Amino acid sequence: VTGGAGERDLTAYVAGDRAVDLGGRTGAAELAGVLAGAACVVTGNTGPAHLAAAVDTPVVSLFAPVVPAERWRPYGVPYVLLGDQDAPCAGTRARRCPVPGHPCLDTVTALDVVAAVDKLVEVT
């Protein structure tokens, strides 16, 4: 589990006792190495999705439609986008959800993420 220095509590929580917590411990080069060694990466529609694609790692992206997926999805690798791409926030370029309840991603479940990872790992 990776994240910035300000996300250490969150990465520790997500990693729990079943994953390695690298929160705040990777710069760009180290993160690229971690992503290159992964069978698949689960991330939001952020820089690490594109870095994973750059090192040829498939991506499951929790993709808020504030930017168009056809332009901003991971490129050149197998990918799965999760989230309602027609949600009311679509195209707003918002940095924080402008719609109460975060409808673009609130229906995505852990099972959806696992199924998407399974799909990509089977493909590669």
Question: What pLDDT digit, counting tens, does each position of 99-120 carry?
Answer: 888 888 999 999 999 999 999 9
Taking the domains of the chain in order of start, what are their residue ranges? 1-37, 39-123
User: Which residues make Cβ contacts (< 8 Å) with residue 118, sequence separation at least 6?
Assistant: none
Which letter does DSSP use for residue 5 in this model? Answer: G
Radius of gyration of the chain from Cα atoms? Answer: 14
The answer to whether the CB of 39 falls within 8 A of the CB of 52 is: no
**CA–CA gap between residue 111 and residue 103 (Å, rounded):** 18
Q: How confident is the model at residue 56 (pLDDT cuts 50, 70, 90)?
A: very high
pLDDT at position 7 is 95
State pTM to two decimals.
Answer: 0.88
**CA–CA gap between residue 73 and residue 104 (Å, rounded):** 16
Task: Give the model confidence (pLDDT) of 10-49 as tens digits.
Answer: 999 999 999 999 999 999 999 999 999 999 999 999 999 9
